[in-house]
Amino acid sequence: MFFLIINIALLLALVIFLLSFIFHFLSIVLKGQAPYIMSQPEAVRRAVAELDLVQESILAYELGSGDAPFLRRLVKKFPQARAMGVEHSLVPYVLAKLVTLFNKRIEITKKNFYKIDLSQADLIYCYLNIDSMAKLEKKFLAEAKDGLLVVSYNFPLPTVEPYKVLRIHKMPLYFYKISQDRK
Ligand SMILES: C[S@@+](CC[C@H](N)C(=O)[O-])C[C@H]1O[C@@H](n2cnc3c(N)ncnc32)[C@H](O)[C@@H]1O
Per DSSP, 37 falls in state -
Tell me if 128 sits within 8 A of 34, measured CB to CB: yes
Q: Is the CB of residue 69 below 6 angstroms from any atom belonging to ligand 1?
A: yes
According to the model, what pLDDT value does residue 56 have?
A: 67
According to the model, what pLDDT value does residue 54 have?
A: 64
Instruction: Please give the distance, rounded to the nearest whole angstrom, from the Cα atom of residue 79 to the centre of ligand 1.
Output: 24
Under the banding of pLDDT at 50, 70 and 90, the label for residue 25 is confident
Residue 148: is its pLDDT beyond 70? Answer: yes
> Among the atoms of ligand 1, which is closest to the Cα of residue 129?
1
- Read off the pLDDT of residues 109-130 as tens digits, 9 standing for 90 and up: 999 999 999 999 999 999 999 9
- Read off the pLDDT of residues 82-103 as tens digits, 9 standing for 90 and up: 999 999 998 899 999 999 999 9
Lateral strand order in the sheet of 164-168: 106-109, 82-86, 59-63, 123-126, 148-153, 171-178, 164-168
